[in-house]
Amino acid sequence: MKTLISLSLAGAFLLTACDRSPSSSVEREDAEAVLTALDEARQAAESEREALEAERQRLEAERDALADARSLQEEELSEIDPVESVPVAVAVDENDPAAQRDMLEAWEADLTEREKDLAGSQALEDELEIVPETYQEPVADYGLFYDSLQDQGEWFDTPDYGYIFQPRVVVQDRQWRPYTHGRWVCSDRGWLWVSDESFGWATYHYGRWVLLAGRGWCWVPGGEWAPAWVAWRHGGGHVGWAPLPPETMVGSPTPWGVNVEVDFGIAEVCFIFVEERYMAAPIWRHCVPFPQYRRFWAQARPCTNFYYVHGRPMACGPNYANLRRRVATPWPVRRIDLDPIGGLRAPGMRAPRQVDRSIRVFAPSLNAAWNPAIRPPKLGKPMKTIQVERAAGGVNREWMGRYQQQRKQRDEARNRWAGQVNDVRQQQLKKNRLAVVDAREQWIQKKLAKPLPQPAVRPGSRDVRPSVPNVKEEPRRGQDDARRQSQEAKRLQQERKKTEQAALKQQQERVREQQQQRQKEAARLQAEEKTRQQERKKAEQSMKQQQEESRRQQQQESQQKLQRQKQERADQAKEQRQQQERARQEQQRQQQERARQEKEQRQQQERARQEQQQRQQQERARQEQQQRQQQERARQEQQRQQQERARQEKEQRQQQERARQEQQRQQQERARQEQQRQQQERARQEQQQRQQQERARQEQQQRQQQERARQEQQQRQQQERARQEQQQRQQQERARQEQQQRQQQERRNR
């Protein structure tokens, strides 16, 4: 008992000492953390200031270079012969439909027969411009999709495709289908889908669509841009197309042909059909009703031709020349101008824009390695099980195996990038965007530095200067003939003079028109230069805002980190106090438990002693009662014998012998009974002794077991206290190591 009291006093003293120690250490750690955070903030501000200064110098150098290039371009334009110059672009009044129609027809006439035959079914490689390889570097990631599309639908998590997006219109209109609200444009890269929907810049040029049973169409994100991701059918006076499934994202760049429908199980229900004559019109007005799809699907034949040129996808399908003969309106072939950065600065620039004969599209590279580790800010209810609408054969086993392997790689990448995305993401994207802006400006400068094209002489063109008739002199035949000849010569001279004046006037008019066109071209170049300067200013402002935002975020992160460290230390101190309090309570509970067990043991011993005394008293009382009964029986028997003897004496003397014999027999019987009784009494006493010995042995064993249990319990308590102390030391060591790792990581980040 004294040992237990001394142990409890020692534990209480240790608890009191532990409660006092953390306060000073926590304050010291808080002060060190504040100093560290201030040093980090100062170093970050210095590095940010140096980066801003370097960026400002670079922008000034770029501005000077652009100004020099612009002056050189103006000098070259001023040196061009106005008679031989040809305008690059012709301004057309947008309010004049006839002028627009004439311009479109002129653009169509510029195509060669070979280009008309190839357009649509193949890429016009002669018209393709090789864009810089820098365009392939990711300037954004899937966060662009998650943030931009959040307000236009809902994101879900699926086991097969990861995060998928369902536009709100799918829930509102069950008849809605992708690639219906917009129009088709034939381009130098195949068939380009120009969408009328606000989310079309992303969902029709990146990723794939999938039709889920009972849920409708959903979009699976992807990082590669294409004019459209569809499979084509053509025949029977109709054109059909269906979105490619997500499994086709495996192994890019992979070309797809007419077998893509069979390999990936594209069902008939996924196809959309329109008549050939409506291919240039808004599609949703002329879609064939759904019940008729099966008939047109059977009549049409696959014509998908999806391949890559210079690492860029070409979305080819039906032949443009065959469709052009059935379309009543002008429908020129456009050239696609890829804009890798504009839509990041201004969301309004993400929709396709027509610039002369080109269509400028927002096509940033989004193939970031950390895409699997990014998630939407808000998710709907998870889709634990999904069923995809497919053809009877389903997806080819080989392609499905490749897709499952890609899913495993995606999960591994997500685990590998977990916790590191925020550290690398912004820095790498910022670096890539600056590189892409530089590459695009250099590419534009190279385009502007090319010489202007010379005028082409078309068949059937005539010289504007009329020919002068050849005047043959005739011999003079008198004065009348001479006068007539003189008058004829004067008339011819006057006509020649008028003709020359008319030709000169036409030439002056043509020069004036060419000067006006050159002025328009110069104005256009100035407008483009102004636009580039504005974009550059916007980029500078955006960069400054991003830097300011990053600086604020760093400050906020440092403050939050400091607060988290304080909170962690407070939580650790609180947890330590709670552990100490729990240990103290556990020790008190154990002491109380031991006291209760000792009390119960004493009570059991007291009850056993009382029961034993009671049993002994009862046994003595029973023995005394038996003795009294025996004495009473003996007395009664003696009286009966005396009476019997008196009666026998009173009766006949002849019975004395029998009485004597009977007395002997009775004496023997009594002796035998007495002997039996004595034997029983000895047996009972021996049994009582054995019972007492057994009870004493059991009580001794019980005391020994209790002693062993108490010793084992003390050992377990000591082991538990040692284990708790070891865990506490391990926790402190882990906390110290984590703090050192964070400090090392912060030093590496700086």
1 pLDDT band, cuts 50/70/90, is very low
Please name which of 358, 315, 307 lies closest in space to residue 206, comparing C-alpha atoms: 315
Please name which of 455, 448, 450, 447 lies closest in space to residue 85, comparing C-alpha atoms: 455
7 pLDDT band, cuts 50/70/90, is very low
Six-digit token string for 325: 């003969």
pLDDT in tens, 390-428: 988 888 888 888 888 888 888 888 888 877 777 677 778
In degrees, rounded to 5, the angle at the alpha carbon of residue 434 between the alpha carbons of residues 55 and 542 is: 70
Give the integer Cα–Cα distance in Å for 252 and 222.
11
Residue 232, φ and ψ in degrees, nearest 5: -110, 150
pTM exceeds 0.75 for this model: no
pLDDT in tens, 346-358: 777 888 888 777 8
Six-digit token string for 321: 């020349």
Give the integer Cα–Cα distance in Å for 579 and 583.
6
Beta pairing partners, 232: 241
Give the integer Cα–Cα distance in Å for 118 and 116.
6
Least confident of 113-127, 170-184, 207-221, 226-240: 113-127
> Does a cis peptide bond (omega within 30 degrees of 0) precede residue 253?
yes
Whose tokens are 């006509």? That residue is: 495
CA–chain centroid gap for 725, Å, is 42
Give the integer Cα–Cα distance in Å for 351 and 361.
7
Question: H or E segment at 272?
Answer: strand 272-275
Burial (Cβ within 10 Å: 0-12, 13-18, ≥19) of residue 611: exposed
- In the predicted structure, residue 748 carries a pLDDT above the cut 60: yes
Residue 223, φ and ψ in degrees, nearest 5: -105, 0
Give the integer Cα–Cα distance in Å for 341 and 429.
11
Amino acid identity, position 35: L
Six-digit token string for 147: 């943030």
Whose tokens are 């026998």? That residue is: 648
Q: What is the share, in percent, of the chain residues with pLDDT greater than 90? A: 17
- In the predicted structure, residue 456 carries a pLDDT above the cut 80: no
- Do β-strands 358-362 and 216-220 pair in parallel, antiparallel, or remain unpaired? unpaired
Q: How many CB atoms lie within 10 A of CB 626?
A: 12
User: 3-state class of 22 per DSSP?
Assistant: helix
Give the integer Cα–Cα distance in Å for 177 and 158.
21
Give the per-residue pLDDT at 750.
76
Mean pLDDT of 377-386: 88
Q: How many CB atoms lie within 10 A of CB 357?
A: 15
CA-to-CA separations, 470 to 3, 382, 467, 496, 504, in angstroms, rounded:
144, 92, 9, 11, 21
Determine contact, residues 389/246, Cβ cutoff 8 Å: no
DSSP string, 172-186: H-TT--SS-SEEEEE
- In the predicted structure, residue 140 carries a pLDDT above the cut 60: yes
Give the integer Cα–Cα distance in Å for 644 and 747.
126
CA-to-CA separations, 176 to 34, 171, 211, 287, in angstroms, rounded:
58, 9, 11, 11
pLDDT in tens, 219-259: 999 999 999 999 999 988 999 999 999 999 987 788 888 89
Give the integer Cα–Cα distance in Å for 655 and 662.
10
Give the per-residue pLDDT at 196.
92
Determine contact, residues 334/189, Cβ cutoff 8 Å: no
Region for 611 from its dihedrals, namely left if φ exceeds 0, alpha if ψ lies in -120 to 50, beta otherwise = alpha
Beta pairing partners, 353: 360
Q: Where are the beta strands (DSSP E) in 317-436?
A: 335-339, 353-355, 358-362
DSSP string, 299-338: HSEE--EEEEETTEEEEE-S-HHHHHTT--S--PPBEEEE
pLDDT in tens, 174-207: 889 999 999 999 988 899 999 999 999 999 999 9
Give the per-residue pLDDT at 45.
64
Give the integer Cα–Cα distance in Å for 600 and 581.
28
Give the integer Cα–Cα distance in Å for 508 and 520.
18
Give the integer Cα–Cα distance in Å for 286 and 283.
6
pLDDT in tens, 492-514: 777 777 777 777 777 677 777 76
- Residue extents of the structural domains in the chain: 112-449
Give the per-residue pLDDT at 199.
94
Give the per-residue pLDDT at 471.
37
User: 3-state class of 369 per DSSP?
Assistant: coil
Q: How many CB atoms lie within 10 A of CB 576?
A: 17
pLDDT in tens, 638-682: 888 888 888 888 888 888 888 888 888 889 998 999 988 899 998
